[in-house]
Structure 1
């Protein structure tokens, strides 16, 4: 990984143990569905800003939902803070994406362009477990994403890269989606990943963690889109507003 143990905790929400996550039957149907999304959505993410900017949003479909109508999480942050926000998240994006997915912009680390950013807001991990191990027997994939002690792996590498570029990093945890059938089988793995991210945030200054489960409490139906998995526009607004508050509380400007 990059630099380790050089920062101290600024903010972390640690309630994380018993969430049924967004399914089972994920690998077959979802692989076909995601392959179609990759083709249709290729090129939809904004072009990289090589000189950096203020706030960058990267990650998977949770962050990308409702971008066409400007009701995505990034647009909410922009409206609340009146600050520049670039949202480069993408449906089907993974932290450990393969070559084809990377070329199509579905690599979450690949969504981080060069340049200095004040904040990088990021989520991810569900698609990694879904596509690499079908949300079962995922110990090796989890360890590759982030080690047990939270110091090594692709997630710390991504956070440290953003920190090296001058950004505060705000990792967004997944929320509880009681009626979903898409990622429920990923629950134990995602819980473990976020426990490790919590440990990473505790030992790294400038790294923050917001648990979206705390935002969706209770997880009311109106917070979810028709697929009962992704956030509705109202759900995206709730998450975006919580993220904006955290950014405002921890920004110098």
Structure 2
């Protein structure tokens, strides 16, 4: 009798263990705390224009901060730069950030996001560095400090434009993309941007090994790529985007 009870108990225990093993994946899937999706949802706020994530709010603040220091930097360039190219870049900074700041403040008011009224400590330091410089040194610092700052925010704009679920933030990201690209173009048109320094700075913060096609060989032309063209006889109504015209310094 005792053996029969022990055998029954073992069978019940085995069944419980089996059911537990089968149920565990379901429980672990349902409890997604700590995952990227859970963190996204936990940091998001519901609005009538779609969820507003922490990244969205950070982007909105960064747009505001950019205007708080780049606009006065642009005004300073108009007043102090020796060359017309740098003055023109300053003009674009002032006009672009005046408009973008207005858009950012409007979006922030609708979404209930508090915006700063002072640049960051680093941004204030950049302004002081520009103020202390003059002549050719001033122009070089202006072109390179502003170009580096715009390049960094350019990546954030692309990320936000790609991932945001909020229509107001998506529109602001589109507007910011055009404004920042215009400023980058004008800063590069001064002919003073140190692209080697930009590349070294980017490489110093990268840990991944570079990938891509093998390096070209001297005296050996690569195989000509096959053109990407549509097939069939469809008709198309759109037209290619005109190539960017780079202003000459």
Same fold (TM over 0.5): no
Greater fraction helix: 2
TM-score by length of 2: 0.27
